[in-house]
Structure 1
Amino acid sequence: MTERKEKIAIIGAGLGGAVAGALLQHSGFDVDVYEQAPSFSRLGAGIHMGPNVLKIFERFGVDKQVVAISSTPSHWFSRDGLTGDYLSRIPLDGYGATYCTVHRGDLQALQCDQLKPGTLHFGKKLVRIDDNGTDVMLEFEDGTSVRADIVIGADGINSKVRETLLGYEKPNYSGWVGHRALISAEKLKKFDLEFEDCVKWWGPDRHMMVYYTTGRRDEYYYVTGVPHPAWEFDSAFVESSREEMASEFEGYHPIIQALIESTDEVTKWPLFNRNPLPLWSRGRLVMLGDACHPMKPHMAQGAAMAIEDAAMLTRCLEETGISGYATAFKLYEVNRRDRATRVQTVSNANTFLLHQEDPSWVYGYDVYAQPLKSESAA
């Protein structure tokens, strides 16, 4: 009788889930990833991948490919949204790897391609989890089911894994929305203005983050943070308009006005978060990324924290093997909670890089260089 190989199931093929799958497979684990979307599509918009993340991508050989599809700004500029005055000029080199801005969909496609053929399953919306102590049964909306020895919840702020561990609870609406728009760089050529590689425009109570999303620099992206008293819509986002943007940023700098004028389509998204959770794992279930520490996107580190989680969880499972999952999960939380909570707090406060400061605690971090703290450090 052949011995059954221990299996890991990952719920969610976003950046955290895809990278976790690739890292674990690279380390020799038997891993399948289950994604509720029916197929892959180039959804989302821009995203930052700092040197702290590129060091992780280097581990499974995709760092150069990421750089090739990205814009690689030399600085993060912060500017006064009304006057245009520079509030900070933060160099983005010197942290041991490249700083990238890229389209989230392009990056996710690249990460999913690193998974072994046949191990990424679309159309798998999780509806029930049964951790019976021996293994875990996962039941999907399409009527199929699978068993796994451990389950990693990388399924976002509305995580079904989180709900199983802690019960249903709506995330907290932050009182802010983000407008997102992609602009063809060709449209910007008519303006006698300089459109910088990576700049955050700060107003008294709102901001606009702007950067290129491709290595060709043919796609320029902005995302805002704007106060909005209540989210009164049922959907994840709603259509916005050039007129709404003009109203929200009336009187702001001519570069912002040029971006709004060049906007064809813009959407508006509510910004949600959760209070720090009392646990990140129980039994054979463990969470990473937005499932356990969602944050406002104001540091551009939300996905980065999910990817760092994936790397640390892989390190811990390499130490213990799947059979030692209980120890691995404790090690993982002990070695990730403080950093994730600090980033969550700073990101929610929306003060990062507003003034001249040293961001090496973020970008200089190397998850593989950290000595593993023991369980007793909890």
Structure 2
Amino acid sequence: MSSKKRFAIIGAGLGGAAVAVLLKQAGFDVTVYERAPRFSRLGAGIHMGPNVMKIFRKMGIEEKVSLMSSHPDYWFSRDGLTGEYMSRIPLGEFALKEYGAAYVTVHRGDLHDVMLSPLDEKDVIFNKHLESIEDTGNEVLMTFADGTEAKADFVIGADGINSMVRENLLGKEEPTYSGWVAHRALITGEQLAKFDHDFEDCIKWWTEDRHMMVYYTTGRRDEYYYVTGVPDPDWNSNASFVDSSREEMREAFDGYHGTVQALIDATESVTKWPLKNRNPLPLWRRNRMVLLGDACHPMKPHMAQGAAMAIEDAAMLVRCIEEVGLTDFETAFELYEANRKDRATRVQATSNANTWLRTQEDPAWCFGYDLYSEPLKNISK
């Protein structure tokens, strides 16, 4: 394939990083335009299941990710009030044997650094806030807030739920607030050691209308992270997040098990984020522009598969480009959408319903998925 075809990727998050690396490995020119002035190690954790670790294998980063991550033996679900186990989903050695790769939990910032590491410094340009985009027929013209312009043969919108590329394809429409917030906090191992509780590697505490997901973010077990889902009908801020407090956490989880109360007591800093959503989009691509990740299927984080779907999108997009070639790029992009839409929509619906692994169930349809061995669906012409 020609290395002269130029891909512009809008957004250098996990999906943008994955598609940039995979396209570069396939021999294409890539430039990633990132709105942020730089990346920092924000206090957030993330799950990476075997379905994604197999893509990291293709990217050449599986071992690095594995070495720095926590490897839980189980996903536990427990009743938030009584502590009774509701499910014990085997991971660890079971995942390696049954699903073909590890299940890990990791700090999002550490993972991001590793995912970007195969790219050269010149491949990612920061401080580039996309203001407008135009498909001229032969190429795509991008204009940024700093007054600069850039051109590319193709543009991939990996720019999140407020995607400017999505807006160009479908018109301006604000995402909807779900009525839920997520509290996020990172607790040091030193702080955790002050409390005499059994802090399990990967556990979700549930009651009828709220939950707290907790796990380690490093193989050293020196960081313990929690993220919640709590109903909150009145989100009145334009900010992406606001500060919360231990007092607010105690009120939200009043009556919860003593281990949860100990976690709240150990919390030094906690933030609160609105969970926003979009309905499934009628299209993911048009002409020389194509979407992936939250730009086309944002979801609540309750299944811990949102970033995984963006990375799967990236891998399938590059697979379809390599399968079809770019002389018929519209077919390549159509093939990508046809081979991603059903799975992404299923994960989106399951995640939004917040039932995943609450009771004993078989997660093989999600964790055992191997994007590279899955036969491509045919598209009719």
What is the TM-score when the length of structure 1 is the normalising length? 0.97
Higher mean C-alpha displacement, 170-179 vs 34-43:
34-43
CA positional deviation for 1:5: 1.9
Percent sequence identity over aligned pairs: 66
Equivalent in 142, 164, 173 of residue 169 of structure 1: 173
| Contact preservation (8 Å) 1:74, 1:91 | yes
2:51 maps to 52
Tell me the residue number matched to 1:126. Answer: 130
Cα offsets for 1:265-301 (capped at 9, x unmatched): 0000000010000000011110000000000000000
State the AA in 2 paired with 1:212: Y
Q: Distance in 2 between matches of 1:116 and 1:97?
A: 28
Amino acid at match of 1:17: G
The reply on whether 1:145 has 2:145 as its aligned counterpart is no
1:194, distance to aligned residue in structure 2 (A): 0.5
Q: Is contact 2:186-2:226 (8 Å) kept?
A: yes
SS of equivalent to 1:235: coil
Question: Which one of 226, 243, 246 corresponds to residue 247 of structure 2?
Answer: 243
Query: Does structure 1 conserve the Cα–Cα contact (< 8 Å) formed by 2:303 and 2:354?
Result: yes
- Alpha-carbon deviation of 1:112? 1.2
Tell whether 2:240 aligns with 1:198. no
Contact in 2 for aligned 1:81/1:253 (Cα 8 Å): yes
Letter in 1 for 2:143: E
- Asked if the contact 2:3/2:28 (under 8 Å) is kept, the reply is no
> Could you tell me how far apart the structure 2 residues matched to 1:61 and 1:38 are?
27
State the 1:322 CA deviation.
2.6
Change (3 A) 1:230 1:186: same
Residue-by-residue CA offset, 1:102-124 (whole Å, 9 max, x unaligned): 11111111111111331111111
> Which amino acid is the alignment partner of residue 335 of structure 1?
N
- Counterpart secondary structure, 2:282: coil
Aligned-partner Cα distance in 1 for 2:121–2:166: 28
Indicate yes or no: 2:326 matched with 1:327. Answer: no
Q: Distance in 1 between matches of 2:66 and 2:3?
A: 40
Residue in structure 2 matching 1:347, options 338, 347, 351:
351
1:242-281 residue pairs with structure 2 within 5 A?
242-281=246-285
- Kept after mapping to 1: 8 A contact 2:43/2:186: no
Query: 1:44 offset after TM fit, Å?
Result: 4.8
Alignment counterpart, residue 111 of structure 2, candidates 86, 107, 124:
107
d(CA) in 1 for partners of 2:139, 2:314: 21
- For 2:17 and 2:128, the matched residues in 1 are separated by 15
Deviations 1:143-181 (A, max 9, x none): 111110110000000000000000110101100000000
* CA positional deviation for 1:376: 1.7
Q: Which residue is equivalent to 2:20?
A: 21
Structure 1 match to 2:291: 287
Report the TM-score when normalising by structure 2: 0.97
Say if 2:108 is the partner of 1:117: no
2:299 and 2:373 map into 1 onto residues whose CA distance is 25
**Alignment match, 2:300:** 296
Deviations, residues 204-241 of structure 1 (Å, cap 9, x unaligned):
21000000001111000000000000211110100000
Which whole-Å CA distance do the structure 2 matches of 1:369 and 1:230 have between them? Answer: 45
Partner of 2:89: 90
Aligned 8 A contact 1:149 1:322 in 2: no
Query: Post-superposition, which runs of at least 4 consecutive aligned residues in structure 1 deviate over 4 A?
Result: none
Partner SS for 1:178: strand
Kept in 1, the 8 Å contact 2:3–2:27? The answer is no
In the alignment, which residue of structure 1 is the partner of 2:186? 182
